Amino acid sequence: MKIYGVALLCACFLAGKFLGQLLGKAIGLDGDIGGVGFAMLLLMLAGAYLHRKQWLSRESEAGIWFWSSMYIPIIVAMAATLNVRAAFEGGWVALLAGGAATFAGLLLVPLLAKIGKDTDPDTKP
């Protein structure tokens, strides 16, 4: 049943958010730190475990795949509801600060991507 997959996804999602909140509290921040990341790791671990035990049928997995394929439409909805106008009204400081941060960050990707790659000859650059 597809709902089993969806329920597993929900369980991982909520547990991850909980861990994120706990981590936030632990370092004195009112917020969720890496909740989505924890949820993703949980789902990967749980998915792999249940798959090995053959407790997760193809049909159940389809419930997760459905939501996985919905993120692009959701991102489009998100784009349409962003505060795009503020980005322009913030003036030159905002444009310059945001722009400089973006370019500096992206240009460093190839450099940092080298870390951990040297030890692994079979990954193509």
Partner 1 sequence: MELLKNIIDKNGLIFAFLLVGLMMLISQVLSRFLFRGKIPGVALAILGGLGLAFLGGEKGLGDYPLFAGLAFLGGSMFRDFAVVATAMGADMGQIKKAGKAGVISLFAGVLVSFTAGVAAALALGYTDPVSLTTIGAGACTYIVGPVTGSALGATSEVLAISIAAGVVKTILVTIITPMIAPRIGLNNPHSAMVFGGMGGTTSGVVAGLAATDPKLVPYGALTATFYTGLGCLLCPSVFFLILRALAGG
Q: Which of residues 46-75 bind partner 1 (CB under 8 A)?
A: 47-48, 61, 64-65, 67-68, 70-75
Asked if 33 and 47 count as a contact pair (C-beta separation under 8 A), the reply is no
- Under the binding rule (CB under 8 A), the answer on residue 19 touching partner 1 is no
Q: Which of residues 79-108 bind partner 1 (CB under 8 A)?
A: 79-87, 89-108
- Under the binding rule (CB under 8 A), the answer on residue 1 touching partner 1 is no
User: Do you know the residue count of the chain?
Assistant: 125
Q: In the block, which residue shows the tokens 């792999």?
A: 48
- Under the binding rule (CB under 8 A), the answer on residue 32 touching partner 1 is yes
